[in-house]
Structure 1
Amino acid sequence: MTPEPDVLTRYLERTRWFGGKGRPFEVASARRVGTLPAAREGSPVVVIELVEVLYGDEPGGTEVYQVPMAFYTDPESRLDHAFIGWWEDPDHGWVHAYDALHDREAMACWLVAFDRAAAEAGGNLHDDSGLLFHRLPGHDLDLESHSTLFSGEQSNSSVAFGEDALMKVFRKITPGVNPDISVHEVLTRSGNDHIAALYGWLDWVDGQPTGDADEAAGTTTVQLAMLQQFLRTASDGWELALTSARNLFAEGDLHAFEAGGDFASESERLGVALREVHDVLAEHFPVGRLDPAAVGRLADDMDVRLDAALGVVPELAAHAGSLREAYARLRALDEVEVQQIHGDLHLGQTLRTSLGWKIVDFEGEPAKPLAERLKPDSRWRDVAGMLRSFDYVPHVVERQFAEDHPEGASQRAYRAEEWANRNRNHFLTAYAGGDLTEAQRTLLDAYVADKAVYETVYETRNRPTWVAIPLEAVARIGAA
């Protein structure tokens, strides 16, 4: 007997990371893909299940989610908040099942498995089920550290092991290479200082009875989790930038460069960090060139997204002409160089440490299919994402100040634009190492426009009071 579908349905509905909330769905199947080795005597049984969800509002629409479970014979009251259900398991008898990521005893099984992998040939620990733990050399794990589940994430789940390591468990599962792992592996092996070093990762190889790390014909690899350096003392880039803008508004009638919290030097350092990351990725991943036909399709896709956005954000119609002109200039380029990039870059994907900036979460835009996230793209897409993030910072703070201080709106608007321009310019100059070529400016303008259009749709659907921020950016595109 396995859990009834309605047990898993109720469990998914109350999680933060399930992407189908609000949609009609049913649990179509649950497949056990492996059992973790016990960390010590008395450890709970820890299994990994892949749960397939079938949506009723989309013919053939399915998603697969990873659900690690800790099995106990008797109820564990300390884990009541993580209770999934109880049933008679075909392998373990009657069990009380809990979300394993909430259980320190269960999480020790992951940590010990990663540690054992380091001692195996090639840094790989596998079992007959197809679970395959990989380790990179150069770091010894602290096996005495306790796990702490982060509460703020949405699409994935992260667990810190003391102050030593951080494990990200991918909840929505797609077969194939996860760029968050592949990019971190390349950057870690190259010694790049602008990321949290990768320590290891967990795969499940379906159809591989020998457990050999080399995939044979007919096998499928699913990447389940990654273990990396925990930057415990790092500061979130978005929050640091907000603090800078707040300081500017609080210090009276000062220019951005005069304020005590001027962020421009940090923007420069971040521009250099991104350029160095892009350069390493270009050395280790394929670099290609889009021919005129492919460049045309890139511009066409932007036009299509604008058409869809016009149906959601009617205010865009006044600027549609200037947006399409930006896309037309892109379409006229003879070629565009593409490579591996971040794909979803903004200040919230950066951390400031005592040793400099770190860029995190190379998984790409979560809403896009994995195959699309793996495609090479122009590095100017990442640059555009950061420029749009710099634009958001002071305008978000401007709105917060307006709630308590309705007077002085025009002055705050001026200073917000000054802060945004100053930091965009410092970041961009540091990244490019000088002035942009005409082709680079054309690419950047198109990507900025495309990102701003996306933002108008997102804000209309999720934060309507913020939609003016990207709409003002769209209006500037027309005035440029």
Structure 2
Amino acid sequence: MISLLNPRSVWERLNDAPRAGDGRSSELIRALNCKIPAPFAVRRFHPLPSAGLDDFSTDIQLASVPEPSPAAERGFDVDQTNHSVIVSESVVVKWLTPPAPLPAPTPDVFAHLTAVGFTATAMPYAAVSRHDDEGEVLLALVTAYLPGASDGWEWCVDEAVADNAGFATELGILTADLHAAMATPSETFPDPVQYVPAHPEPHARALRALREALALIDGEDGAWLMARAQDFLAALDPLARISNVPLIRIHGDLHVGQILRWRNGYAVIDFDGNPTVTDASPFQPAARDLAQLTTSLEHVSQVAIQRYDINPSTAEEWTSTARDRLKSAYYARLGEHGQSTLLDSSLLRPFEIEQELRELIYSARHLPRWRYAPMGVLRSWF
């Protein structure tokens, strides 16, 4: 039995690193129904569901309640930067490992999307933080569990192998809906769209990515990149002339792995931003998100070739069809929202090239076996 007369004891147990089955994620869900003790804080977005969580419903007038069962917890069978636990097949507790200093983008984005009525995501319930001597840190995010969900590195690769590109229309609509929502004012983001006379940051970042990729990639691939350095510079040049383009808070790391397909459709997740870019302004051209999503379709194609021995010409045709459908649906949907001016299409290819350079940097620093994907894409473009 856990006494509610001493609720701090529940929270102190959450300071240890949680794992699926140890009961701490269940304890957190239970504790969210109680008074939150200092130095912890909870930012709420939607009420927790009652279905499937009967064991965690709490009458705070009681002196004690049954201890939650670790059997209600399970983890995800995927590699994760952070650690997520499914509780009672109803909610997901995403533990930040390590805790992230606040302000962090996700809680504000959750609050904004909730306010403007965007629902094509895992419904956010709460953000849990703790104050310490150095400030406030984000401990966990609590969202809905989406039954039957798989991410795009699974379902989208299957579509490529099956030579089916019909899904891309829905992805284009989803992305346009997200951008239109991000451009809608709320109490959290009262001025969600910015216009600046000049925006030099994207070009400077792209040039840094080019220099870093050229320095890190060796061997035959490195020689190929170096021989085309001037071509890359020319292709990135439009980023040097960004002026009066609408800037919004974008997703920042929008690839197919961030789009779940579940029993009720598609949902975009993980608004933490790009973990490899820490110095970017929160306001960016919408084209950056769209470019990263289209390049991820290119990567899916490369994965299908590498792992499933798909004919390269077939994969290339699939990629072209999927890209065209995604962009056409995106343009049309933005128009329906009255937000066509959000996208400057001249920035798409430069941002796509920058993204491939960043993929090369990531492969060199963290995952060498991934190099084949961005190199395959760049060789097909140049």
TM-score interval w.r.t. the shorter chain? 0.7 to 0.9
Out of 156, 170, 176, the position equivalent to 1:275 is 176
Q: 2-side partners of 1:367 and 1:130: how far apart? A: 31
Deviation at 1:467, TM superposition (A): 2.5
Q: 2-side partners of 1:181 and 1:104: how far apart? A: 26
Deviation at 1:396, TM superposition (A): 1.1
Out of 81, 86, 110, the position equivalent to 1:155 is 81
Q: 1:246 to 1:140 in 2, by over 3 A?
A: closer
Q: 2-side partners of 1:460 and 1:206: how far apart? A: 36
Q: For the Cα contact (< 8 Å) 1:184–1:198, is it kept in 2?
A: yes
**Match of residue 84 from structure 1:** none
Q: 2-side partners of 1:324 and 1:373: how far apart? A: 21
**Match of residue 194 from structure 2:** 288
Q: 1:415 to 1:39 in 2, by over 3 A?
A: farther
Greater mean alpha carbon deviation, residues 281-290 or residues 456-465? 456-465
Out of 288, 306, 321, the position equivalent to 1:422 is 321
**Match of residue 358 from structure 2:** 454
The ranges of structure 1 where at least 4 consecutive aligned residues each deviate by more than 6 angstroms after the TM superposition are 39-44, 434-437
Deviation at 1:144, TM superposition (A): 1.8
Q: For the Cα contact (< 8 Å) 1:46–1:100, is it kept in 2?
A: no
Ranges in structure 1 where 5+ consecutive residues have no aligned partner: 1-36, 50-66, 70-98, 117-124, 208-218, 249-261, 403-408
Out of 300, 312, 325, the position equivalent to 2:204 is 300
Q: 2-side partners of 1:290 and 1:230: how far apart? A: 39
SS of match in other structure, 1:173: strand
Out of 113, 118, 121, the position equivalent to 2:31 is 113
Q: For the Cα contact (< 8 Å) 2:93–2:140, is it kept in 1?
A: yes
Q: Deviations over 1:290-335 (max 9, x none)?
A: 323x33x421221122111111122311221121112212213433
Q: Deviations over 1:433-479 (max 9, x none)?
A: 29999x8232111110100111123334555454343224324444x
Q: For the Cα contact (< 8 Å) 2:212–2:361, is it kept in 1?
A: no
Out of 188, 192, 195, the position equivalent to 2:121 is 195
Q: Greater share of strand residues, 1 or 2?
A: 1
Provide the TM-score with structure 1 as the length reference. Answer: 0.66
- AA matched with 2:174: A
- AA matched with 1:111: I
**Match of residue 265 from structure 1:** 166
Q: For the Cα contact (< 8 Å) 1:197–1:228, is it kept in 2?
A: yes
- AA matched with 1:341: I
Q: 1:139 to 1:159 in 2, by over 3 A?
A: same
Q: For the Cα contact (< 8 Å) 1:238–1:350, is it kept in 2?
A: no
Greater C-alpha Rg: 1
Q: 1:374 to 1:144 in 2, by over 3 A?
A: farther
Q: For the Cα contact (< 8 Å) 1:43–1:105, is it kept in 2?
A: no
Q: 1:143 to 1:305 in 2, by over 3 A?
A: same
Please tell me whether residue 144 in structure 1 is matched to residue 43 in structure 2.
no
Q: For the Cα contact (< 8 Å) 2:116–2:184, is it kept in 1?
A: no
Out of 153, 161, 168, the position equivalent to 1:246 is 161
Identity, % of aligned positions: 24
Out of 273, 276, 284, the position equivalent to 1:377 is 284
Q: 2-side partners of 1:46 and 1:443: how far apart? A: 50
Q: 1-side partners of 2:246 and 2:113: how far apart? A: 21
**Match of residue 345 from structure 1:** 254
**Match of residue 293 from structure 2:** 386
Q: 2-side partners of 1:143 and 1:39: how far apart? A: 18
Q: 2-side partners of 1:45 and 1:138: how far apart? A: 24
Ranges in structure 2 where 5+ consecutive residues have no aligned partner: 57-71
- AA matched with 2:331: A
Report how many aligned residue pairs link the two structures.
Answer: 349
Q: For the Cα contact (< 8 Å) 1:269–1:427, is it kept in 2?
A: yes
Greater mean alpha carbon deviation, residues 446-455 or residues 188-197? 188-197
Greater mean alpha carbon deviation, residues 343-352 or residues 130-139? 130-139
Q: For the Cα contact (< 8 Å) 2:100–2:139, is it kept in 1?
A: no
- AA matched with 1:167: V
Q: For the Cα contact (< 8 Å) 2:44–2:125, is it kept in 1?
A: yes
Q: 1:299 to 1:132 in 2, by over 3 A?
A: same
Q: Deviations over 1:236-266 (max 9, x none)?
A: 2221111122224xxxxxxxxxxxxx1x321
Q: For the Cα contact (< 8 Å) 2:302–2:377, is it kept in 1?
A: no
Q: 1:187 to 1:307 in 2, by over 3 A?
A: same
Q: For the Cα contact (< 8 Å) 2:46–2:123, is it kept in 1?
A: no
- Which one has more relative contact order, counting CA pairs under 8 Å at least 6 apart? 2
Greater mean alpha carbon deviation, residues 266-275 or residues 232-241? 232-241
Q: Deviations over 1:90-121 (max 9, x none)?
A: xxxxxxxxx443454433321111123xxxxx
**Match of residue 131 from structure 1:** 40
**Match of residue 378 from structure 2:** 474
Q: 1:374 to 1:185 in 2, by over 3 A?
A: farther
SS of match in other structure, 2:249: coil
Q: For the Cα contact (< 8 Å) 1:302–1:450, is it kept in 2?
A: yes
| Alignment map for 1:310-349 (pairs within 5 Å) | 310-313=214-217, 314=222, 315-349=224-258
Q: 1-side partners of 2:280 and 2:139: how far apart? A: 17
Q: Deviations over 1:143-194 (max 9, x none)?
A: 4272223353432111111111111111123422222222122212333221
SS of match in other structure, 1:289: coil
- AA matched with 1:353: W
Deviation at 1:349, TM superposition (A): 0.5
Please tell me whether residue 440 in structure 1 is matched to residue 358 in structure 2.
no
Q: For the Cα contact (< 8 Å) 1:319–1:474, is it kept in 2?
A: no
Q: For the Cα contact (< 8 Å) 1:39–1:112, is it kept in 2?
A: no
SS of match in other structure, 2:284: coil
SS of match in other structure, 1:352: strand
- AA matched with 1:273: L
Q: 1:471 to 1:101 in 2, by over 3 A?
A: closer
